[in-house]
Amino acid sequence: MNGAQALIRTLTGGGVDICFANPGTSEMHFVAALDAVPRMRGVLTLFEGVATGAADGYARMAGRPAATLLHLGPGLGNGLANLHNARRAGVPVVNVVGDHATFHKQYDAPLESDIDAIAGAVSGWVRRSTSAADVGPDAAAAIAAASGPPGQVATLILPADVSWSERDAAPGECPEPPHPLGRGTLDADTLEAAAKALGSGEPCLVLVGGEATREPGLVAAARIAAATGAKLLAETFPTRFERGAGVPAVDRLGYLADMAIHQLSGIKHLVLAGARPPVTFFGYPNKPSDLVPEGCQVYPVAAREGAALAALEALADLVAPGTEAPLAPAARPALPTGPLTVETAAAVVGALLPEGAIVVDEAITSGLGLPGATAGAPRHDWLTLTGGSIGYGLPAATGAAVACPDRPVWCLQADGSAMYTISALWTHAREGLDITTVIYNNSAYAILRMELMQVGASESGERARALFDLGGPRLDFVQIASGMGVPAVRASTAEELADALRRAQAEPGPHLIEAIVPSLVP
């Protein structure tokens, strides 16, 4: 057994049996070891950002980490943006980065770079294995560190000769997996203060995030809201948001600062369960970054990760004994007709979203109608761009589909952000994943048109606006997807979109629908 085999055996022993890989020379022994340890499934991606985004999507749905396999510092760099999203989402990832052989590093060969520094920016845990004997224990420690709680990116740097050496290589012993919903301890004083505030008759808001955007947390929070009259919101970009008919219907805090300020306006008591104190996404001239209204008292009953569900259930026992959570009734919009718009496209999705769907949402401005249109659809999971780093949707859909092969994945994806990691489509085809991708093609970085107004850059003109224009030339996603092996069609009307979605559902495997929509922002 060599170091690479010890690594893979440790990973599979610890429940990590998927590796999203984009290997290079320094990772060859890891790749070779795949044949020695058939329990590990290697999923090839054509770009490291697809591998890391897939690991994020996988972890959100599987509740346990996948491994990545990246090539040296540049490969890690390519994977950084989606590792950032995973870090912000608090999901576990065992991020394996190959490095030059230990004896080779001194020569500063062309691909030498400071892997540790780059890894540190996105990882909660970084270790460099220095011998084959260390690899097993190091991999076990990586799994434990990744799994948390809170979940985090654990980066294991693996020099090539540590991989190929056979000296004392052996699998490491893996710890028990952590309780999936954390086991942080509760602070009785904060809970009591929150309970008192909720009973005060003053305007209260319960903001849920992290694990509390899954059904049990939402049920507890909805009971609290129903019993006390408090408002209930979920954080802006939940890691995994359970919703649809039979689940409490919970709105999200707005992305736009003005919307969020409006939602929080007048609140005197803010209860945070698994959510952080709300702040704007960006800093703007003449707008506050801190969204907590002046004079509002904050009650952090549970940190972002850890005990949010337990805290909400304890709070519900205090303030809502006997109160049932109101649940969203089954309700779908009627199928619209006529030209596609952001609104009609959302209604079509709401009318047809299948039971048990996993929705990966990177639709950005074209997705503004989706939450309302799908609130009463059959129950589903909604994954969002938690870290704000675009190029997340197609890769995350890859990982979600690998984690849940029996559930349909709908990837609702804006055009501009799709292009960052477009090669994920090839992996959709390669693995025959049941992913239906809708690309909202509005030929613009429409969100930037909106942000340009938000930051008050009023001196801008045509040359500035040209940098948000994706229309010259217009991207043809039907051709792009076909070129990567994903069957694709174009839809310009609501009827065409509905037909295309029905056909995609009827046939297993990946499909892409290019939905031509006008930009929401002129």
Among 88, 127, 128, 214, binds a second copy (CB under 8 A): 88
How many of the chain's residues bind a second copy (CB under 8 A)?
Answer: 103
Q: How far is the CB of 74 from a second copy (least distance, A)?
A: 4
Among 186, 419, 489, 521, binds a second copy (CB under 8 A): 419
Angstrom distance (rounded) from CA 474 to CA 469: 9
Interior angle at CA 322, CA 189 and CA 215, nearest 5 = 75
- Please report whether residue 462 would count as binding a second copy according to CB under 8 A: yes
Among 429, 435, 498, 500, binds a second copy (CB under 8 A): 429
- Which span (75-83, 217-225, 369-377, 401-409) binds a second copy, by CB under 8 A? 75-83
- Please report whether residue 256 would count as binding a second copy according to CB under 8 A: no
- Binding to a second copy (CB under 8 A) within 149-178 occurs at 160-161, 164
- Please report whether residue 485 would count as binding a second copy according to CB under 8 A: yes
At 74, which helix (H) or strand (E)?
A: helix 72-89
Residue 472, SS3?
coil
> 289: Cβ–Cβ under 8 A, 6 or more apart, which residues?
279, 280, 283
- Binding to a second copy (CB under 8 A) within 7-66 occurs at 21, 23-26, 28-29, 31-36, 38, 42, 44, 46-47, 49
Among 194, 325, 373, 478, binds a second copy (CB under 8 A): 478
3-class secondary structure per residue, 122-191: CCCEEEECCCHHHHHHHHHHHHHHHHCCCCCEEEEEEEHHHHHCCCCCCCCCCCCCCCCCCCCCCCHHHH
Angstrom distance (rounded) from CA 103 to CA 92: 32
Cα pseudo-dihedral 358, 361, 366, 371, rounded to 10: 60
- Binding to a second copy (CB under 8 A) within 262-291 occurs at 276, 279-285, 289-290
- Which span (81-89, 371-379, 394-402, 499-507) binds a second copy, by CB under 8 A? 81-89
Q: How far is the CB of 177 from a second copy (least distance, A)?
A: 26
25 or 337: CB nearest a second copy? 25
Q: How far is the CB of 327 from a second copy (least distance, A)?
A: 30
Nearest to 40 by CA among 49, 48, 31: 31
215 or 514: CB nearest a second copy? 514
Cβ atoms of 422 and 394 within 8 Å: the answer is yes
The number of beta carbons lying within 10 Å of the beta carbon of residue 272 is: 27
Angstrom distance (rounded) from CA 514 to CA 355: 23
Angstrom distance (rounded) from CA 477 to CA 438: 10
Among 125, 241, 382, 426, binds a second copy (CB under 8 A): 426
Nearest to 157 by CA among 79, 84, 71, 77: 71
Q: How far is the CB of 121 from a second copy (least distance, A)?
A: 4
Among 11, 54, 81, 234, binds a second copy (CB under 8 A): 81
- Please report whether residue 466 would count as binding a second copy according to CB under 8 A: yes
- Please report whether residue 475 would count as binding a second copy according to CB under 8 A: yes
- Please report whether residue 259 would count as binding a second copy according to CB under 8 A: no
- Please report whether residue 430 would count as binding a second copy according to CB under 8 A: yes
160 or 191: CB nearest a second copy? 160
Nearest to 418 by CA among 342, 360, 504: 360
Q: How far is the CB of 189 from a second copy (least distance, A)?
A: 25
338 or 472: CB nearest a second copy? 472
Rg of the chain over Cα atoms, rounded to whole angstroms, equals 24
Maximum distance among all alpha carbons in the chain?
70
Among 15, 121, 326, 330, binds a second copy (CB under 8 A): 121
- Please report whether residue 129 would count as binding a second copy according to CB under 8 A: no
15 or 456: CB nearest a second copy? 456
- Please report whether residue 91 would count as binding a second copy according to CB under 8 A: no
> What CA–CA distances, in Å, run from 440 to 82, 342, 389?
21, 9, 18
Angstrom distance (rounded) from CA 327 to CA 226: 11
- Please report whether residue 200 would count as binding a second copy according to CB under 8 A: no
